[in-house]
Amino acid sequence: MTARVGTTGLVFEEPLIWERSRSGRTGFSMPRRDVPEAPLPPGLEGEAPDLPELTEVDVVRHFTRLSQWNVSVDTTTYPLGSCTMKYNPRLHEAVVALEGLRTAHPLLPPALAQGPLRILWETERFLAEITGMDAVSLQPAAGAQGELTGILVIRAFLARRGERRTKILVPDTAHGTNPASAALCGLRPVPVASGPGGVLEPAAVEAVMDEDVAGIMVTNPNTLGLFEENLKEVAEIVHEKGGLVYCDGANLNALMGVVRMGDLGVDAMHLNLHKTFSAPHGGGGPGSGPLCVRAPLEPFLPVPRIVERPDGSLDLDHDRPLSVGRVHAFYGNFGVIVRAWAYIRSMGAEGLRRASELAVLNANYVKERLKDVLHLPYDRPCLHECVFTDRNQIPRKVTALDIAKRLIDYGYHPPTIYFPLVVRGALMIEPTETESKADLDGFIEALRAIAAEAEAEPQLLHDAPVQAKRRRLDEAAAARSPCLTG
Ligand SMILES: *Cc1c(COP(=O)(O)O)cnc(C)c1O
């Protein structure tokens, strides 16, 4: 039970129970029977299953109430770093719900699926243009699966050349999924320390690059929100020794229409459509992590490939002997891809560029307006996100976790904390381009107020959140042994 003040000012107790079943309730009505009653076939008689008994209104109220307890992009600023929680225009929902798209069966022969195939084909072409790469596979269902597919493709390419390299370079500012993806492909990640400016130094790469290294996985912008300005030089060093350059492009929200990784020497990269290209995400919902490659890697992409026949029709090509195989059923998460297509079509080249410019402007605005109260480890222009630490608050025994939890009381989703790992006590803020200046100011004022509280009344932060439905949770236990009903 938790005490709540209702809109009338009355305090009432609200039961925090999930189990709302009451014996005898029912949420459906069957038409009157107009055939004779018949016994159940053998094997089906016996006890009825123990299902919840609820009326329709019980169910609607339960789920509506739960949705209102939830924090979402549709209710507040959601500056979760590295996740690009931007607003998703409703237009894309209308497009994906068009009957011809919603009802298209994935097993339709290509001749009867020209519309959906055209959308997939165009999305591949758009993404190739945006990244400066030659070919795209839309199959991977997430960023991490895009990485895995990319490294499988690189490994197959090297094997075809008769090489079995065993290592891969991964800078300390890469996303955590990078070394995991490489390791899953049997490559041993070799860490490379970033320089004092927070970016890769060519000399550090030169020192570890040899003929046993398959390549490098660079997150750009990196997890400090900084542009890897030496990437072109780094790519030359890696290519010189026969390696390939993989770019984790999950955070393209800073770069769309501004710089193309293909022009910087990148051989393969993935994008996160569910971040940059405006598909709702969170809670592990469906995503899409297309893999974009240069022409020499194209034969190794997953099958089937969408190909244009001389008469202009589209077809599926399964005859790719060098392919690494399928990584997803059919063509990937079609609904997510359609939303990305609608986003790209409605924004246009100019609009995409403007979105990235505003995302970068907003992050720099937040950085400049908070750096006198929160410690900024790398005081230089950032891209789509800025990384602070809790160093100024630690003497008052206030940590990044306390600051994040207190933000909930102010009505905001917390930023990412304790990531990237290269910064102690990190608070990683990604405002995105869809926040207005007024909304950013509200968020900044909340963090400034929290910094003042940390000085004057640190206990407030230790106790936070007090306005939320739940206080601090054991998040590890919640993930490992979830209790879904009570
Ligand atoms: C989000 C993210 C990933 C992982 O993407 P998923 O879709 O969650 O698998 C990888 N790299 C970077 C830089 C990211 O921000």
Which tens digits make up the pLDDT trace of 29-48?
889 999 999 988 888 888 88
Please give the pLDDT value at position 13.
45
Q: Using 50, 70 and 90 to split pLDDT, how confident is the model at 2?
A: very low
User: What is the whole-number distance in angstroms between the Cα of residue 144 and the centre of ligand 1?
Assistant: 6
Most confident residue range from 8-12, 282-286, 325-329: 325-329
CA-281 nearest atom, ligand 1: 7
Which tens digits make up the pLDDT trace of 342-373?
999 999 999 999 999 999 999 999 999 999 99
Q: Would you list the domain boundaries of the chain?
A: 1-27+58-64, 91-346, 354-477
User: What is the whole-number distance in angstroms between the Cα of residue 310 and the centre of ligand 1?
Assistant: 38
Please give the pLDDT value at position 15.
52
Is residue 203 scored above 80 in pLDDT? yes
Q: Does the C-beta of 142 come closer than 6 Å to ligand 1?
A: yes
> Residue 235: what are its φ and ψ, rounded to 5°?
-60, -40
For domain 354-477, the CATH class is: alpha beta
Q: Which of the pair, 300 or 9, is modelled with greater confidence? A: 300
Q: Does the C-beta of 272 come closer than 6 Å to ligand 1?
A: yes
Please give the pLDDT value at position 297.
98
Q: Does the C-beta of 177 come closer than 6 Å to ligand 1?
A: yes
Is residue 7 scored above 60 in pLDDT? no
Q: Does the C-beta of 428 come closer than 6 Å to ligand 1?
A: no
Is residue 271 scored above 90 in pLDDT? yes
Percentage, residues of the chain above pLDDT 90: 83
Which tens digits make up the pLDDT trace of 100-134?
999 999 999 999 999 999 999 999 999 999 999 99
User: What is the whole-number distance in angstroms between the Cα of residue 51 and the centre of ligand 1?
Assistant: 38
Q: Using 50, 70 and 90 to split pLDDT, how confident is the model at 70?
A: confident
Please give the pLDDT value at position 232.
98
Please give the pLDDT value at position 3.
47
Please give the pLDDT value at position 17.
64
Is residue 299 scored above 90 in pLDDT? yes
Is residue 467 scored above 80 in pLDDT? yes
Which tens digits make up the pLDDT trace of 147-158?
999 999 999 999
Is residue 4 scored above 60 in pLDDT? no
**CATH 3.40.50.300 fits domain 91-346:** no
CA-219 nearest atom, ligand 1: 13
pTM for this prediction: 0.90
Q: Does the C-beta of 435 come closer than 6 Å to ligand 1?
A: no
Is residue 85 scored above 70 in pLDDT? yes
Please give the pLDDT value at position 470.
82
Is residue 185 scored above 70 in pLDDT? yes
Q: What would the mean pLDDT of 362-388 be, rounded to a whole number?
A: 97
Please give the pLDDT value at position 288.
97
Q: What would the mean pLDDT of 381-394 be, rounded to a whole number?
A: 97
Q: What would the mean pLDDT of 233-260 be, rounded to a whole number?
A: 97
Please give the pLDDT value at position 16.
55
Q: Do domains 91-346 and 354-477 have the same CATH topology?
A: no
User: What is the whole-number distance in angstroms between the Cα of residue 109 and the centre of ligand 1?
Assistant: 33
User: What is the whole-number distance in angstroms between the Cα of residue 413 and the centre of ligand 1?
Assistant: 19
Please give the pLDDT value at position 11.
46
Q: What would the mean pLDDT of 209-232 be, rounded to a whole number?
A: 97
Is residue 27 scored above 50 in pLDDT? yes
CA-142 nearest atom, ligand 1: 7
Is residue 18 scored above 80 in pLDDT? no
Q: Which of 175, 228, 255 for a ligand 1 pocket mutation test, highest count of atoms within 8 Å of Cβ?
A: 175
Please give the pLDDT value at position 46.
85
User: What is the whole-number distance in angstroms between the Cα of residue 248 and the centre of ligand 1?
Assistant: 8
User: What is the whole-number distance in angstroms between the Cα of residue 223 and the centre of ligand 1?
Assistant: 11
